[in-house]
Amino acid sequence: MLSIDILRKEIEQEIGNLGFKRAPLGLYEPIEYSMSLGGKRLRPVMCLAACSLFTDDYAKAMPAALAIEMFHNFTLLHDDVMDNADMRRNEPTVRAKWNDNTAILSGDEMLIEAYKLLSMTDTPAFSLVLSTFSDTATEVCEGQQYDMEFEERDDVRLDEYMEMIRLKTAVLLAGAIKIGALIGGANDADIKSLYDYSIDLGLAFQLQDDLLDTFGDEKTFGKAIGGDIMEGKKTYLLISALQKASAEQRAELEQWLTAKDAPRADKVAAVRSLYESTGAKEATEKKMEELYAKAMNTLKLMEISAEGKRFFADFGDRLLKRKR
Protein backbone atom coordinates (compact mmCIF):
# COMPACT_ATOMS: atom_id res chain seq x y z
CA MET A 1 0.00 0.00 0.00
CA LEU A 2 1.18 3.51 -0.81
CA SER A 3 1.95 6.19 1.73
CA ILE A 4 -0.13 9.29 2.42
CA ASP A 5 2.76 11.44 1.22
CA ILE A 6 3.09 9.66 -2.11
CA LEU A 7 -0.66 9.86 -2.74
CA ARG A 8 -0.58 13.53 -1.87
CA LYS A 9 2.21 14.19 -4.33
CA GLU A 10 0.31 12.43 -7.08
CA ILE A 11 -2.72 14.58 -6.31
CA GLU A 12 -0.69 17.79 -6.30
CA GLN A 13 0.70 16.86 -9.69
CA GLU A 14 -2.76 16.17 -11.14
CA ILE A 15 -4.06 19.46 -9.72
CA GLY A 16 -1.16 21.21 -11.44
CA ASN A 17 -2.23 19.59 -14.71
CA LEU A 18 -5.87 20.69 -14.51
CA GLY A 19 -5.07 23.68 -16.69
CA PHE A 20 -7.12 26.77 -15.91
CA LYS A 21 -5.09 29.16 -18.04
CA ARG A 22 -8.00 29.90 -20.33
CA ALA A 23 -10.38 32.72 -21.17
CA PRO A 24 -12.09 34.41 -19.48
CA LEU A 25 -9.13 34.69 -17.11
CA GLY A 26 -11.31 36.59 -14.63
CA LEU A 27 -13.31 33.38 -14.15
CA TYR A 28 -10.53 30.78 -14.22
CA GLU A 29 -7.55 32.48 -12.52
CA PRO A 30 -9.26 32.48 -9.10
CA ILE A 31 -9.92 28.73 -9.55
CA GLU A 32 -6.26 28.07 -10.31
CA TYR A 33 -5.25 30.26 -7.36
CA SER A 34 -7.62 28.53 -4.96
CA MET A 35 -6.58 25.03 -6.04
CA SER A 36 -2.87 25.86 -5.87
CA LEU A 37 -2.97 27.08 -2.26
CA GLY A 38 -2.41 23.57 -1.03
CA GLY A 39 -3.65 22.31 2.25
CA LYS A 40 -3.38 18.73 3.37
CA ARG A 41 -5.49 17.27 0.51
CA LEU A 42 -6.90 14.86 3.11
CA ARG A 43 -10.08 14.05 1.24
CA PRO A 44 -8.61 13.19 -2.16
CA VAL A 45 -5.76 11.25 -0.51
CA MET A 46 -8.27 9.16 1.42
CA CYS A 47 -10.44 8.70 -1.67
CA LEU A 48 -7.48 7.11 -3.46
CA ALA A 49 -6.50 5.14 -0.34
CA ALA A 50 -10.03 3.73 0.01
CA CYS A 51 -9.96 2.68 -3.64
CA SER A 52 -6.57 1.02 -3.19
CA LEU A 53 -7.98 -1.21 -0.44
CA PHE A 54 -9.96 -3.04 -3.12
CA THR A 55 -7.93 -2.71 -6.32
CA ASP A 56 -4.34 -2.09 -7.37
CA ASP A 57 -5.63 0.28 -10.03
CA TYR A 58 -6.37 3.04 -7.53
CA ALA A 59 -5.71 5.68 -10.23
CA LYS A 60 -9.27 4.93 -11.37
CA ALA A 61 -10.36 7.08 -8.44
CA MET A 62 -8.16 10.06 -9.37
CA PRO A 63 -10.85 12.08 -11.24
CA ALA A 64 -13.27 11.58 -8.35
CA ALA A 65 -10.57 12.51 -5.83
CA LEU A 66 -9.92 15.72 -7.75
CA ALA A 67 -13.67 16.36 -7.95
CA ILE A 68 -13.91 16.18 -4.16
CA GLU A 69 -10.95 18.53 -3.70
CA MET A 70 -12.50 20.92 -6.22
CA PHE A 71 -15.82 20.76 -4.35
CA HIS A 72 -14.07 21.38 -1.03
CA ASN A 73 -12.36 24.47 -2.44
CA PHE A 74 -15.65 25.69 -3.92
CA THR A 75 -17.15 25.63 -0.43
CA LEU A 76 -14.20 27.67 0.89
CA LEU A 77 -14.73 30.39 -1.75
CA HIS A 78 -18.42 30.76 -0.89
CA ASP A 79 -18.00 30.33 2.88
CA ASP A 80 -15.40 33.12 2.83
CA VAL A 81 -17.93 35.41 1.11
CA MET A 82 -20.60 34.53 3.67
CA ASP A 83 -18.16 35.06 6.57
CA ASN A 84 -16.40 38.13 5.08
CA ALA A 85 -13.13 36.25 5.59
CA ASP A 86 -9.99 37.86 4.16
CA MET A 87 -7.34 35.28 5.04
CA ARG A 88 -7.12 31.50 4.83
CA ARG A 89 -4.01 29.35 5.23
CA ASN A 90 -2.07 32.62 5.67
CA GLU A 91 -2.99 33.76 2.15
CA PRO A 92 -5.64 36.24 0.98
CA THR A 93 -8.98 34.60 0.15
CA VAL A 94 -10.37 34.92 -3.38
CA ARG A 95 -12.89 37.50 -2.19
CA ALA A 96 -10.04 39.55 -0.67
CA LYS A 97 -7.67 39.19 -3.65
CA TRP A 98 -10.44 39.82 -6.21
CA ASN A 99 -13.93 40.58 -4.87
CA ASP A 100 -17.15 38.96 -3.67
CA ASN A 101 -18.66 38.62 -7.14
CA THR A 102 -15.57 36.84 -8.42
CA ALA A 103 -15.62 34.46 -5.47
CA ILE A 104 -19.31 33.71 -6.11
CA LEU A 105 -19.01 33.13 -9.86
CA SER A 106 -15.65 31.31 -9.85
CA GLY A 107 -17.03 29.23 -6.97
CA ASP A 108 -20.06 28.32 -9.07
CA GLU A 109 -17.78 27.25 -11.89
CA MET A 110 -15.75 25.13 -9.45
CA LEU A 111 -18.89 23.23 -8.47
CA ILE A 112 -19.54 22.57 -12.17
CA GLU A 113 -15.88 21.61 -12.69
CA ALA A 114 -16.21 19.19 -9.77
CA TYR A 115 -19.09 17.44 -11.57
CA LYS A 116 -17.08 17.42 -14.81
CA LEU A 117 -14.15 15.73 -13.06
CA LEU A 118 -16.46 13.25 -11.38
CA SER A 119 -18.03 12.45 -14.77
CA MET A 120 -14.64 11.27 -16.03
CA THR A 121 -14.83 8.32 -13.63
CA ASP A 122 -14.91 5.04 -15.50
CA THR A 123 -16.73 2.58 -13.25
CA PRO A 124 -19.79 0.34 -13.36
CA ALA A 125 -20.79 2.01 -10.07
CA PHE A 126 -20.94 5.46 -11.68
CA SER A 127 -24.57 6.06 -10.85
CA LEU A 128 -23.89 5.38 -7.15
CA VAL A 129 -20.73 7.50 -7.25
CA LEU A 130 -22.73 10.38 -8.70
CA SER A 131 -25.58 10.12 -6.18
CA THR A 132 -23.12 9.80 -3.27
CA PHE A 133 -21.34 12.93 -4.46
CA SER A 134 -24.57 14.94 -4.83
CA ASP A 135 -26.03 13.74 -1.53
CA THR A 136 -22.78 14.65 0.22
CA ALA A 137 -22.74 18.07 -1.44
CA THR A 138 -26.29 18.72 -0.23
CA GLU A 139 -25.34 17.71 3.32
CA VAL A 140 -22.40 20.12 3.28
CA CYS A 141 -24.78 22.96 2.27
CA GLU A 142 -27.19 21.93 5.04
CA GLY A 143 -24.29 22.01 7.51
CA GLN A 144 -23.31 25.51 6.44
CA GLN A 145 -26.96 26.59 6.80
CA TYR A 146 -27.17 25.20 10.36
CA ASP A 147 -23.84 26.81 11.21
CA MET A 148 -25.18 30.21 10.12
CA GLU A 149 -28.48 29.66 11.93
CA PHE A 150 -26.71 28.71 15.17
CA GLU A 151 -25.02 32.13 15.20
CA GLU A 152 -28.46 33.66 15.78
CA ARG A 153 -29.61 31.12 18.37
CA ASP A 154 -28.91 30.84 22.10
CA ASP A 155 -30.46 27.44 22.66
CA VAL A 156 -28.31 25.17 20.49
CA ARG A 157 -28.14 21.68 22.01
CA LEU A 158 -25.15 19.34 21.97
CA ASP A 159 -26.92 16.89 19.64
CA GLU A 160 -27.66 19.74 17.24
CA TYR A 161 -24.03 20.83 17.33
CA MET A 162 -22.85 17.27 16.62
CA GLU A 163 -25.28 17.01 13.69
CA MET A 164 -24.07 20.35 12.32
CA ILE A 165 -20.39 19.34 12.38
CA ARG A 166 -21.31 15.93 10.94
CA LEU A 167 -22.85 17.73 7.95
CA LYS A 168 -20.39 20.56 7.62
CA THR A 169 -17.17 18.63 8.21
CA ALA A 170 -17.44 14.86 8.55
CA VAL A 171 -19.59 13.88 5.55
CA LEU A 172 -17.15 15.20 2.96
CA LEU A 173 -14.31 13.03 4.27
CA ALA A 174 -16.74 10.12 4.56
CA GLY A 175 -18.12 10.79 1.07
CA ALA A 176 -14.59 10.88 -0.36
CA ILE A 177 -13.75 7.53 1.23
CA LYS A 178 -17.07 5.98 0.20
CA ILE A 179 -16.62 7.10 -3.40
CA GLY A 180 -13.08 5.71 -3.47
CA ALA A 181 -14.35 2.39 -2.11
CA LEU A 182 -17.21 2.30 -4.63
CA ILE A 183 -14.79 2.83 -7.50
CA GLY A 184 -12.52 0.16 -6.05
CA GLY A 185 -15.41 -2.30 -6.12
CA ALA A 186 -15.94 -2.69 -2.37
CA ASN A 187 -18.93 -4.61 -1.02
CA ASP A 188 -21.73 -2.94 0.91
CA ALA A 189 -20.47 -4.03 4.34
CA ASP A 190 -16.99 -2.62 3.78
CA ILE A 191 -18.43 0.61 2.40
CA LYS A 192 -20.63 1.02 5.45
CA SER A 193 -17.75 0.34 7.84
CA LEU A 194 -15.45 2.80 6.09
CA TYR A 195 -18.20 5.40 6.07
CA ASP A 196 -18.90 4.99 9.81
CA TYR A 197 -15.16 5.08 10.56
CA SER A 198 -14.79 8.34 8.60
CA ILE A 199 -17.78 10.04 10.18
CA ASP A 200 -16.56 9.27 13.70
CA LEU A 201 -13.03 10.32 12.84
CA GLY A 202 -14.31 13.53 11.19
CA LEU A 203 -16.35 14.39 14.27
CA ALA A 204 -13.38 13.70 16.56
CA PHE A 205 -11.23 15.89 14.32
CA GLN A 206 -13.68 18.79 14.58
CA LEU A 207 -13.85 18.47 18.38
CA GLN A 208 -10.04 18.49 18.44
CA ASP A 209 -10.11 21.63 16.27
CA ASP A 210 -12.50 23.25 18.76
CA LEU A 211 -10.18 22.31 21.63
CA LEU A 212 -7.12 23.64 19.79
CA ASP A 213 -8.90 26.88 18.95
CA THR A 214 -9.27 27.47 22.69
CA PHE A 215 -6.44 25.56 24.33
CA GLY A 216 -3.93 25.12 21.51
CA ASP A 217 -0.51 26.53 20.87
CA GLU A 218 -0.60 29.52 18.52
CA LYS A 219 2.50 28.37 16.63
CA THR A 220 1.34 24.88 15.79
CA PHE A 221 -2.37 25.77 15.40
CA GLY A 222 -1.58 28.29 12.64
CA LYS A 223 -4.04 30.97 13.70
CA ALA A 224 -4.78 33.10 16.75
CA ILE A 225 -6.06 31.15 19.75
CA GLY A 226 -9.48 32.10 21.10
CA GLY A 227 -11.25 32.90 17.82
CA ASP A 228 -14.29 30.80 18.74
CA ILE A 229 -14.52 32.50 22.14
CA MET A 230 -14.28 35.98 20.60
CA GLU A 231 -17.01 35.12 18.07
CA GLY A 232 -19.17 33.50 20.76
CA LYS A 233 -19.29 30.38 18.61
CA LYS A 234 -21.57 27.68 19.99
CA THR A 235 -19.01 24.89 20.15
CA TYR A 236 -19.16 21.66 22.12
CA LEU A 237 -17.05 23.44 24.75
CA LEU A 238 -19.43 26.36 25.16
CA ILE A 239 -22.63 24.32 25.08
CA SER A 240 -21.22 21.85 27.63
CA ALA A 241 -19.99 24.65 29.84
CA LEU A 242 -23.42 26.30 29.90
CA GLN A 243 -24.99 22.91 30.71
CA LYS A 244 -22.59 22.01 33.49
CA ALA A 245 -22.12 25.44 35.04
CA SER A 246 -23.37 26.35 38.53
CA ALA A 247 -25.60 29.45 38.65
CA GLU A 248 -22.56 31.48 39.59
CA GLN A 249 -20.33 30.04 36.85
CA ARG A 250 -23.06 30.55 34.27
CA ALA A 251 -23.45 34.20 35.24
CA GLU A 252 -19.71 34.69 34.99
CA LEU A 253 -19.53 32.91 31.63
CA GLU A 254 -22.41 34.92 30.18
CA GLN A 255 -20.88 38.13 31.43
CA TRP A 256 -17.59 37.39 29.68
CA LEU A 257 -19.28 36.24 26.47
CA THR A 258 -21.31 39.43 26.17
CA ALA A 259 -18.42 41.70 27.22
CA LYS A 260 -17.75 43.50 23.96
CA ASP A 261 -14.95 45.74 25.15
CA ALA A 262 -13.01 43.30 27.33
CA PRO A 263 -9.36 42.89 26.27
CA ARG A 264 -9.01 39.75 24.13
CA ALA A 265 -6.36 38.11 26.33
CA ASP A 266 -8.46 38.58 29.47
CA LYS A 267 -11.63 37.31 27.86
CA VAL A 268 -9.98 34.24 26.35
CA ALA A 269 -8.19 33.39 29.61
CA ALA A 270 -11.34 33.80 31.70
CA VAL A 271 -13.55 31.70 29.42
CA ARG A 272 -10.82 29.08 29.09
CA SER A 273 -10.63 28.85 32.84
CA LEU A 274 -14.43 28.43 33.06
CA TYR A 275 -14.28 25.67 30.43
CA GLU A 276 -11.89 23.90 32.79
CA SER A 277 -13.69 24.53 36.07
CA THR A 278 -17.11 23.52 34.69
CA GLY A 279 -15.70 20.29 33.28
CA ALA A 280 -16.54 21.31 29.69
CA LYS A 281 -12.99 20.77 28.52
CA GLU A 282 -12.95 17.29 30.01
CA ALA A 283 -16.35 16.47 28.50
CA THR A 284 -15.17 17.55 25.05
CA GLU A 285 -11.97 15.53 25.35
CA LYS A 286 -13.97 12.51 26.50
CA LYS A 287 -16.35 12.80 23.56
CA MET A 288 -13.42 13.13 21.17
CA GLU A 289 -11.74 10.05 22.66
CA GLU A 290 -14.95 8.04 22.41
CA LEU A 291 -15.37 8.92 18.76
CA TYR A 292 -11.75 8.12 18.01
CA ALA A 293 -12.03 4.77 19.79
CA LYS A 294 -15.27 3.99 17.97
CA ALA A 295 -13.66 4.76 14.60
CA MET A 296 -10.67 2.55 15.40
CA ASN A 297 -12.91 -0.26 16.58
CA THR A 298 -14.98 -0.13 13.38
CA LEU A 299 -11.73 -0.38 11.43
CA LYS A 300 -10.49 -3.28 13.53
CA LEU A 301 -13.60 -5.33 12.81
CA MET A 302 -13.27 -4.92 9.04
CA GLU A 303 -12.15 -7.79 6.85
CA ILE A 304 -9.49 -5.98 4.87
CA SER A 305 -5.73 -6.53 4.66
CA ALA A 306 -3.60 -5.85 7.73
CA GLU A 307 -1.68 -3.35 5.63
CA GLY A 308 -4.89 -1.51 4.71
CA LYS A 309 -5.99 -1.41 8.33
CA ARG A 310 -2.62 -0.01 9.34
CA PHE A 311 -2.86 2.71 6.72
CA PHE A 312 -6.30 3.85 7.91
CA ALA A 313 -5.28 3.59 11.58
CA ASP A 314 -2.18 5.69 10.86
CA PHE A 315 -4.33 8.23 9.10
CA GLY A 316 -6.58 8.51 12.16
CA ASP A 317 -3.55 8.96 14.41
CA ARG A 318 -2.09 11.57 12.12
CA LEU A 319 -5.38 13.44 11.84
CA LEU A 320 -5.73 13.49 15.59
CA LYS A 321 -2.03 14.28 16.08
CA ARG A 322 -1.27 11.14 18.04
CA LYS A 323 2.05 9.41 18.33
CA ARG A 324 2.07 5.64 18.15
Question: Torsions phi, psi of 92, nearest 5?
Answer: -65, 140
Q: How far is CA 18 from CA 12, 187, 264, in A?
A: 10, 32, 43
Q: Is 209 in the site for a copy of itself (CB under 8 A)?
A: no
Nearer to a copy of itself, 145 or 273 (CB): 145
Contact stretch for a copy of itself (CB under 8 A) within 20-28, 178-186, 219-227, 300-308: 20-28
Question: Can you tell me the distance from the alpha carbon of 96 to that of 98, in angstroms, rounded to the nearest whole number?
Answer: 6
List the x/- string, 64-103, binding to a copy of itself by CB under 8 A. Answer: --------------x--xx------------------x--
Q: Is 20 in the site for a copy of itself (CB under 8 A)?
A: no
The one among 141, 251, 265, 301 contacting a copy of itself by CB under 8 A = 141
Single-letter amino acid code for the residue at 239: I
The one among 69, 113, 210, 252 contacting a copy of itself by CB under 8 A = 113
Q: Is 153 in the site for a copy of itself (CB under 8 A)?
A: no
Question: Torsions phi, psi of 160, nearest 5?
Answer: -70, -40
The one among 127, 154, 188, 248 contacting a copy of itself by CB under 8 A = 127
The one among 40, 89, 119, 307 contacting a copy of itself by CB under 8 A = 119
- Count Cβ neighbours within 10 Å for each residue of 179-193 and write b for 16 or more, e otherwise: bbbbbbbbeeebbeb
- The strand ranges marked E within 10-62 are none
By rule CB under 8 A, what count of residues binds a copy of itself? 31
Q: What is the maximum span of the chain, computed from C-alpha positions, in angstroms? A: 62
Q: Is 151 in the site for a copy of itself (CB under 8 A)?
A: no
Torsion angle defined by CA atoms of residues 217, 223, 224 and 227, in that order, rounded to the nearest 10 degrees? -110
Question: Is the peptide bond preceding residue 44 cis, with omega within 30 degrees of 0?
Answer: no
Query: Least distance from C-beta 24 to a copy of itself, angstroms?
Result: 5
Considering just the CA atoms, what is the radius of gyration of the chain in Å? 20
Label residue 94 exposed, middle or buried (CB < 10 Å: 0-12, 13-18, 19+): buried
Nearer to a copy of itself, 101 or 305 (CB): 101
Query: Least distance from C-beta 137 to a copy of itself, angstroms?
Result: 5
Asked whether the beta carbons of 194 and 181 are under 8 A apart, the reply is yes
Question: Torsions phi, psi of 98, nearest 5?
Answer: -110, -105
Contact stretch for a copy of itself (CB under 8 A) within 137-145, 244-252, 287-295, 307-315: 137-145
The one among 14, 91, 108, 209 contacting a copy of itself by CB under 8 A = 108
Residue 103, Cβ neighbours under 10 Å: how many? 24
Binding footprint of a copy of itself on the chain (CB under 8 A): 24, 26-27, 78, 81-82, 101, 104-105, 107-109, 111-113, 115-116, 119, 127, 130-131, 134, 137-138, 141-142, 144-146, 148-149
